[in-house]
Amino acid sequence: MLYARLILMRLLKAVVVLFMIVIFNFFLIQMAPGDPAAILAGEAGATDQEFLRQLRERFGLDQPLYVQLWRYVSGIAMLDFGYSYRQQMPVLDLILARLPATLLLTGTAFVLSLALGIVAGSMAAARVKKPSGSLIMALALIFYATPLFWVALMAVVLFSVYLDWLPAYGMYTVGAGLDGFALILDVAKHLVLPATTLALFFMAIYTRMTRASMLEASQQDYVKTARAKGLSPRVIQRRHILRNALLPIITLAGLQAGQMVGGAILTETVFAWPGIGRLMYEALMQRDYNLLLGIFFFSAALVIVFNIITDLVYRLADPRIKEGS
């Protein structure tokens, strides 16, 4: 009951945010240099004056601004994101076709980075001022400072070109006609490099955060209480310090989800992963603004979904919110 209400409220909030993004998008189109009709049609295809005139009429660009805004918003409310003249397909179809690949990539990277980050961070927290702890933190700092796309490229050079261990491009082996388990294995192989490179940066963030959060938690009074009970350091670390330290990490993970969708644009571009990030790059290259803004809208929606999930998890983890009255 409580959860149903929470989800309802969060969805309501999400709708408001998405609505604002739609309005934002509308004004971005207005802001862009050149004729909005030309922009909607895609720059290069906009030389034919008659075509442009038809377009203007069709999109109501001869109407006052507020009428246009209303049309734009109500269109999107009906899931009409416009048409990509470059790809000759409705924007929505294009995006929906690419969405699963992105979900697979970001989902894998998210789980991977969170799990490894928490493990590495707690190891570093338990080894403060020891060389092994410093080494973990130095590595985390380096990963944090490395450009994502560059790591991806270097991974291609090393693991694909020189060592030839893993495929560097695409999601399947083209023309192999695999199915069943063989297909899953094939996709998994293709997933290794993009997911790992995408996860590295975020793993670095979670590692640093976990360590800081655990060091903070270990200063708390209840840890002294636990020691006074005669509990072993292992139990104290796991049951008292880690559990409390994880709360802020859940919040952070929700915030970072948005960055991960952004990071996917770079990894998908490098690895030719057929997701919406790669699609965004294509739209960018072709100045296909309709598609670009559609993807932008969807990436924001994805972030909101991630945020709602982390919110729910947080409430599960913290009794003070769950049973608070």
Partner 1 sequence: MSEPVLSIRGLTIALPKGADRPYAVEDISYDVERGEIMCVVGESGSGKSMAANALMGLLPKGVRPTAGEVIFDGQDLLTLTEKQHRKLRGLHIGMIFQEPMTALNPLMRVGAQISEVFEAHGKYNGKERQAHALALLEEVGIPQPDKAIRAYPFQLSGGQRQRVMIAMALALEPKLLIADEPTTALDVTTQAQILELIRDLQKRRGMSVMFITHDFGVVAEVASRVCVMRYGQIVELGPAKEVLENPQHEYTRALIEAIPSNIIPEARGGERPAPLLEVKGLNKIFRSKGGLFKAAREVRALDDVSFTLAPGETVGIVGESGSGKSTLGRCVVRLERPDSGTLSLSGTDFTTLTGEELRRQRWRVQMIFQDPYASLNPRTRVGYAIAQGPMANGVSRDEAMKQAGELLDLVGLGAVAVDRFPHEFSGGQRQRIGIARALALNPELIVADEAVSALDVSIQAQILELLEDLKQKLSLSLLFITHDLRVAAQICDYIIVMQHGRIVEQGTAETVFLSPREAYTRELLEAIPGRAHELESA
Partner 2 sequence: MSFFARFAQNRGALIGLIILMTIILMAILAPFLYPDSPWRMVQRPFLSPMEVDGFLLGTDTMGRDVAAGIMHGAWVSLLIGLVSTTVALAIGVPLGAIAGYYGGLIDDGLMRFTEFFQTIPNFALAIVLVAIMQPSVTSIVLAIAIVSWPPVARLVRAEFMSLRHREYVEAARLVGQTNRTIILRQILPNTLSPIIVLASLMVATAILLESALSFLGLGDPNVMSWGYMIGAARTVIRQAWWLSFFPGFAILLTVLALNLVGEGLDDALNPKLSRERS
Q: Are 50 and 57 in contact (CB under 8 A)?
A: no
What, of partner 1, partner 2, none, does residue 263 touch, CB below 5 to 8 Å by kind?
A: partner 2
Q: Taking CB under 8 A as the criterion, which residues in 63-102 touch partner 1?
A: none
Does 222 interact with partner 1 (rule: CB under 8 A)?
Answer: yes
Does 218 interact with partner 2 (rule: CB under 8 A)?
Answer: no
- Measured CA to CA, the distance from residue 114 to residue 203 in angstroms comes to 6
How would DSSP label each residue in 81-112?
--EETTTTEEHHHHHHHHHHHHHHHHHHHHHH
Any alpha helices (H) in 158-220, and if so which ranges?
Answer: 180-217
Q: How far does CA 146 lie from the centroid of its chain?
A: 18
Does 176 interact with partner 2 (rule: CB under 8 A)?
Answer: no
Instruction: Choose one: 16-24, 50-58, 186-194, 225-233; the region binding partner 1 (CB under 8 A).
Output: 225-233
Q: Helices (H) and strands (E) in the chain — how many of each?
A: 14, 2
- Measured CA to CA, the distance from residue 310 to residue 302 in angstroms comes to 13
Shortest separation between residue 22's beta carbon and partner 1, angstroms: 25
Q: Is 250 helix (H, G, I), strand (E, B) or coil?
A: helix
Binding partner 2 (rule: CB under 8 A), the pick from 84, 281, 282, 290 is 281
Q: Are 214 and 128 in contact (CB under 8 A)?
A: no
Binding partner 2 (rule: CB under 8 A), the pick from 121, 263, 274, 275 is 263
* 63 versus 259: smaller Cβ distance to partner 2: 259
Q: Taking CB under 8 A as the criterion, which residues in 8-47 touch partner 1?
A: 9
Binding partner 1 (rule: CB under 8 A), the pick from 98, 211, 240, 278 is 240
196 is written with which tokens? Answer: 């790992």
| Residues of the shown chain interacting with partner 2 in the complex, contacts defined by CB under 8 A | 17, 20-21, 28-29, 31-33, 141-142, 144-150, 153-154, 156-157, 161, 219, 255, 258-259, 261-263, 265-266, 269-270, 280-281, 284-285, 287, 289, 292-293, 295-296, 299-300, 302-304, 307
